[in-house]
Amino acid sequence: MADGRNAMLAGRRRAEAASSSGTPRRLGGDALLAAVAAVFTVVQLAFVHPWMGLGWDEIVYTSQVTTHHPAAFFSAPRSRGVSLLVAPVASWSSSTELLRVYLAVLSGVGLYLALRAWKGLFPARVLATAGAFFATLWVTLFYGPQAMPNYWVGIGALICVGCFLRVWQGPAGRAALWGVVAGAALMTWMRPTDAVWVTVPLLVLVLVRRHWLLLLALAGGMAAGGVEWVIEAYGWYGGLGERISRASEIQGGLGWNVAVDDQMRSLGGRGLCRPCTGSMPHPVVTAWWIALPAVAVLGVVVAARARRTARTLIPFACAVTAALPYLFMIGYAAPRFLQPAYALLAIPVADALWHLARTERARWRPVAASLVALALTGHLAVQLAVLEGTVDRNVASREDWAHVADELHRLGVSPPCLVTGHESIPIGYYTGCSSGSTSGNNENTTAAEIMETARRIPVAAVTGPGGKPSGYARDWTPHRITDLTVRVAPRG
C-alpha cells in the first residue's frame, strides 16, 4: 500500500487524539451514526408496509422454523442463516407485521454496528454519509425488513473489513479482532459463496504479509459460519463438491456470463430478472449506478493523495470481488445480489463526496457543495420513487397468492394438504399446505408420491397461464382462479 502500516498508525493516533480531547465529540460521532440507523429503521417501516405478505424466498427461509406452516423445499444454494435470524419471532408467531418490525429494527442496529466498526478510520461525517447513502438505496430499504440474506452479507462485510483495517494498521485490541471473526461468520452464515468472494483481497493481503493472527480470525469466522452448510452438504447432498455443483446448476451454471445489462434492467424495481428481457429503465433510474464506480474510484484517488490509501482501497477491492460473480458469472440478475458491493463502496463514495463538497478552492466551495447536495437530493427522490412502485407491485402479487389460497380453501383444500405445480411454494404457504414439484430447481417429489398423497389428504395442482397440466392431474376437475387453472384431486 502507498501509505504503509506506519502511516496508517500515525493517522489513527492523530484521529484518536482529536476525538479524545473531549467526551462530547466522541458521543457526538456515535450519536450521528445512531441517528442514521434510526432514520433508516423508520423509513423502512414507512415505505415497506409491515403488512406486506412474505415473498417466495422469504417463505422458504421462514417456513424452516415455523410451527404453523410446513417447511418448504430448501435448495442447495441456500443457507440457514436467515432462518435462524427470524427464528426468535417466526418460531412462535405467524404475524407478518411483527416479523417486519423485528427485522426493520434489527437491520437498523446492524447498520449502526457496521458503521461503528470503521470508527477511527474515517471522520464521523464520512461514516454517517456512507451509511445514509447505502441506507437510502431502494434495494436496501426494500430488503432491510425482509427475511433475505443479502443485506446481512453487506453488514457482515462492513464489520469484517472495518475491523480488519483496524487490526491491520496497528494494535487495535481484541474487540477489533473479534469483529473480524464476527463479520466473516455473519457473511458465511448467510451466503457462504458471497463470503468467499468478499474476503479474497483480505486473504491475499494476510498471506502476502504473513499476518497469521488475521488469517486465523478470517478462517475461524468463515469456518464458524459455514460449518452447518458443510455438514448439511454431506448429510443431504452427498458431499461438499456435489452441493456446490448442484448450487451452480440451479443458478444456471456458473461461467462467463455478462450480466451487467441484466443488473441495469433490474434497477427499475424487478426483484428477479430471469430471464432478463425488456427495455432498460429510464436513464434517470440508472444514472446513479453508472456514476457509482466512478465516484468510488475518485475516493480511492483522494485517499492516495492524502497518503491513506489502504483504508479506502481495501473496501473498494472487496466490493469489486463481491460484485464480480453477479456481473460476469451468472445469466440473470437481481438487485439484491449487489448489496454487499454497495455497502463497501459506500465508504470511498462518501469520502469522495466530502472531498468534492469541501474543495480546496474557497471561491468554488459553495458551488461544489450545492451541486453535491442537489445531486444527492435528486438521487434520493429517484430511489424513493422506485421503492414505492416496487412495494406496490409486491403487495399486489402477494395479495394474489392470498386470494388463490382463499379459493383453494373454498374448494376444500385445507391443512393438511399438498399444492403442486406453478408457484406451489408461495401458494402452498398461503394455503397452509406442503408444496411439491416433480421437476425444476425445487424438485422434491414424484408423480407416484403425489398420487399416493392424494388418497390421504387434499391435493391441488396449479397450472400457470398458457401451461399444460402434469400427467397425473389431467383427469382432475379444473377450476379457474385469476389467470391460473387449479385441478383438485378427487377425494379417495
> In the chain, what are the domain boundaries?
4-393, 411-488
Point out the residues of the chain with pLDDT beneath 50.
1-26
What is the separation of C-alpha 266 from the centre of its chain, rounded to a whole number of angstroms? 15
pLDDT tens-digit series, residues 95-153: 999 999 999 999 999 999 999 999 999 999 999 999 999 999 999 999 999 999 999 99
Task: Supply the pLDDT for residue 361.
Answer: 67
- The candidate with the shortest Cα–Cα distance to 247, out of 259, 257, 239, is 239
The grid coordinates listed for 108 are 437498523
> Is residue 183 within 8 Å of residue 221, measured between CB atoms?
yes
In this structure, which amino acid lies at residue 255? G
The grid coordinates listed for 372 are 453535491
pLDDT tens-digit series, residues 167-184: 998 777 789 999 999 999
Tell me how far CA of residue 65 lies from CA of 240, 309, 437, in angstroms.
24, 45, 21
- The candidate with the shortest Cα–Cα distance to 427, out of 474, 471, 485, is 485
Proportion of the chain above pLDDT 70, given as a percent: 93
Provide the β-strand partners of residue 478.
487
Task: Supply the pLDDT for residue 55.
Answer: 97
> Is residue 117 within 8 Å of residue 162, measured between CB atoms?
yes
What is the C-alpha to C-alpha distance for residues 24 and 145, in angstroms, rounded to an integer? 33
Task: Supply the pLDDT for residue 363.
Answer: 67
- Cell numbers 426493520 correspond to 104
Task: Supply the pLDDT for residue 61.
Answer: 98
Task: Supply the pLDDT for residue 21.
Answer: 39
What is the C-alpha to C-alpha distance for residues 354 and 352, in angstroms, rounded to an integer? 5
Task: Supply the pLDDT for residue 263.
Answer: 95
What is the C-alpha to C-alpha distance for residues 350 and 322, in angstroms, rounded to an integer? 19
What is the C-alpha to C-alpha distance for residues 473 and 108, in angstroms, rounded to an integer? 47
The grid coordinates listed for 124 are 464521523
pLDDT tens-digit series, residues 461-470: 999 998 999 9
- The candidate with the shortest Cα–Cα distance to 47, out of 400, 288, 383, 286, is 383
Q: Which residues of 152-166 are buried (b: 16+ CB within 10 A; e: fewer)?
A: bbbbbbbbbbbbbbb
- The candidate with the shortest Cα–Cα distance to 464, out of 487, 483, 488, 438, is 483
- Cell numbers 383438485 correspond to 488
Tell me the Cα Rg of the chain.
24
